[in-house]
Amino acid sequence: MGAAADGSSVVAITGALNPYLGPLTGLVIDAAIFTAVVFATYLLYKAVISPLVGRLFDRQGLDEHARRPLQKIVAFLVLFAGVTVAFGAAGYQGFLRSLATIAAAATLAVGFALQDVIKNFVAGVFIYTDKPFRIGDWIEWQGNSGIVEDISFRVTRVRTFDNELLTVPNHALTSDVVKNPVAKKTLRLKFVFGIDYEDDVDKATDIIVEEAEKSDAILDDPAPSVRLTELADSYVGLQSRIWIDDPSRADFVKARADYVKAVKERFDEEDISIPFPQRTVSGRNEWTDPSSFGGEA
């Protein structure tokens, strides 16, 4: 009954438009049906499917790193299904068969042309599954560093600390070493303080540790430590090792800067010098008798 009613409705619409459009009536109706089905699919996705998927992700406890690629996959599948249904409803089955034949013939050529795209897509899948970093993480690779702002299937967008946006192909982040300093909850920082050879090493060590213990940004556990690591040409190197909690780039820079400044001020108060590089130049001046090269003796 419903199918008959729908068929009679189409026939009625065709009869009404035929005097105005003539032979184009069928094409216009088919195009209108196709557009209506695609638009209805879009509305269905926005009003029903997307909220349901969001609630499902909330129930599973997925974070932003996992949500974005999955949402894109769901949107693509819904759109693909809607377009397929629209082709069938509009009576474009013959076009679909032709399109499938063309697609099969073009697959090989497209595969060669899109090698880099496919490579980056596969790398994006690995980033999603392996999770070497997440959105909001500070990463470093190939001399670059910044905060991850977005991860897609082809590229990752990173905001540098100079507020520049880098669009990085995913393959570049899976084919080389990527450092993620904030992957764990704590980060160890190291800094070498150089003191004069005549200064008291134990006294300088105590000052370095005391200033670390005073800082609110530096953790007590693991405890700060100092090691004599270098006997350089003009100074004795004392390497301080401190830990900070839940680091970001701003925390890292500020914590180290404040700590180094405090140690420097204590060194000045305790008359512990931080020497600068020195060079001693020596030579020999020999007198030559002028008469040996034609001059007067």
Domains and CATH numbers, the chain: 2-113 (no CATH), 130-174 (2.30.30.60), 186-269 (3.30.70.100)
For the question of whether the overall pTM of this predicted structure is more than 0.85, the answer is no
165: nearest Cα among 177, 150, 175, 179: 150
pLDDT in tens, 226-258: 999 989 888 899 999 999 887 766 677 788 899
Query: Percentage of residues in the chain with pLDDT exceeding 90?
Result: 18
Strand 155-159, strand 165-169: pairing: antiparallel
Q: Mean pLDDT throughout 56-85?
A: 75
- Check whether 287 has a pLDDT greater than 50: yes
Residue pair 38/81 in contact (Cβ under 8 Å)? The answer is no
- Check whether 120 has a pLDDT greater than 90: no
How far lies 41's CA from each of 28, 50, 73, 96, 265, in Å?
20, 12, 15, 19, 68
Residue pair 237/274 in contact (Cβ under 8 Å)? The answer is no
- Check whether 95 has a pLDDT greater than 90: no
Tell me the pLDDT band of 21, cut-offs 50, 70 and 90.
very low
Cα(276)–Cα(262) distance, integer angstroms: 19
DSSP 262-296: HHHHHHHHTT---PPP------------GGGGTS-
H-type alpha helices, 45-114: 50-60, 64-89, 93-113
Q: Mean pLDDT throughout 171-195?
A: 86
**Tokens coding 60:** 């599973």
Q: Is 282 exposed, middle or buried (0-12, 13-18, 19+ CB in 10 A)?
A: exposed
Reported residue count of the chain is 297
Distance from the Cα of residue 209 to its chain's centroid: 35
